[in-house]
Amino acid sequence: MIPSKITPSMMCADLARLPETLSVFTEEGIEYLHIDVMDGHFVNNLCLGTDFCRQMRRMSEIPLDLHLMIEEPEKKLDWFDIQPGEFVALHVEATNHLQRALCAIRERGAKAMAALCPATPLSVLDYVLDDLDGVLIMTVNPGFAGQKLIPATLDKIADCRRYLDERGYGHVTIEVDGNVSFENAEKMRAAGADLFVAGTSSVFAKDGDLRENIAKFRKAIR
């Protein structure tokens, strides 16, 4: 099993306390910073852009995990100054040129990931398995934090793990995003996920301390 990793959703962070939050993440060994980029077209929301990504790279050594919820992402990759070692996920529903776009991410030394909305079948990946480092399974419809898990997506995670393993792609990461609560994270781990987007329902939960939330989350995804 691929070791589990945490990628906190930075759209959920308190911007007024960003430096402090990032040093806690470094001390706690947080593996990635999840950056939700929304363009107001692919999803009904606008948030986090190229300047935010640049700023994050200046403020922290933790590699970025970019989640591009934008139309025609293949035309916009240059905007993001993608760095080697980062994860970059683009939505299969947002491009007519998935294979080319995944290759363009790898050409930059980054890890290419295909993101799938809840209704999108795994079969869209059939002919791009050699071009993939990860699959991002949306467990809510993309666009907003604070939504409720779509139960069928738990089966989808397990199906995806089986699908990859059976074809000899057991090394491909499965990222999960949306209502990855302490409780849901445990089920997602059991289903085969290894990269967990932590938002308002876990690490950034209002009723807990950041460090305690991280410790509790680590335990859930062991």
Q: Which does 200 bind (CB under 5 to 8 A by kind): Zn ion, ligand DX5, none?
A: ligand DX5
Of the candidates 36, 39, 133, 194, the residue annotated as catalytic is 36
Task: Return all residues near 207 (Cβ < 8 A) that are at least 6 apart.
Answer: none
Annotation says 51 is catalytic: no
179 binds ligand DX5 (CB under 6 A): yes
In the complex, the smallest distance separating the C-beta of residue 139 from Zn ion, rounded to whole angstroms, is 10
The encoded tokens of residue 143 equal 């666009």
In the complex, the smallest distance separating the C-beta of residue 9 from Zn ion, rounded to whole angstroms, is 6
Task: Return all residues near 82 (Cβ < 8 A) that are at least 6 apart.
Answer: 66, 88, 105, 108, 110
Q: What whole-number distance in Å separates Cα of residue 165 and Cα of residue 111?
A: 19
Range in contact with ligand DX5 (rule: CB under 6 A) among 17-25, 127-135, 171-179, 207-215 = 171-179
Number of residues binding to ligand DX5, judged by CB under 6 A: 19
Q: Is 189 within 8 Å of 5 (Cβ atoms)?
A: no
> Scanning residues 96 to 115, which ones bind ligand DX5 (CB under 6 A)?
none
Instruction: Using the minimum distance from each CB to ligand DX5, give the nearer residue, 99 or 186.
Output: 186
Q: Which does 199 bind (CB under 5 to 8 A by kind): Zn ion, ligand DX5, none?
A: ligand DX5
Range in contact with ligand DX5 (rule: CB under 6 A) among 17-25, 56-64, 73-81, 199-207 = 199-207
Q: What whole-number distance in Å separates Cα of residue 188 and Cα of residue 191?
A: 5
Q: Give the residue among 94, 106, 166, 93 at the shortest CA–CA distance from 134.
A: 106
Q: Is 164 within 8 Å of 133 (Cβ atoms)?
A: no
Of the candidates 39, 133, 177, 194, the residue annotated as catalytic is 177
Instruction: Using the minimum distance from each CB to Zn ion, give the nearer residue, 144 or 169.
Output: 144
9 binds ligand DX5 (CB under 6 A): yes
Q: What is the DSSP string of 12-53?
A: GS-GGGHHHHHHHHHHTT---EEEEEEESSSSS-EE--HHHH
Annotation says 36 is catalytic: yes
Instruction: Using the minimum distance from each CB to ligand DX5, give the nearer residue, 11 or 77.
Output: 11
Q: Is 66 within 8 Å of 89 (Cβ atoms)?
A: yes
Q: Give the residue among 139, 156, 135 at the shortest CA–CA distance from 147.
A: 139
- Residue from 200, 208, 216, 218 binding ligand DX5 (CB under 6 A): 200
Q: Radius of gyration (Cα) for the chain, nearest Å? A: 16
Active site residues: 36, 177
Positions that interact with ligand DX5 (CB under 6 A): 9, 11-12, 34, 36, 67, 140, 142, 145-147, 177-180, 197, 199-201
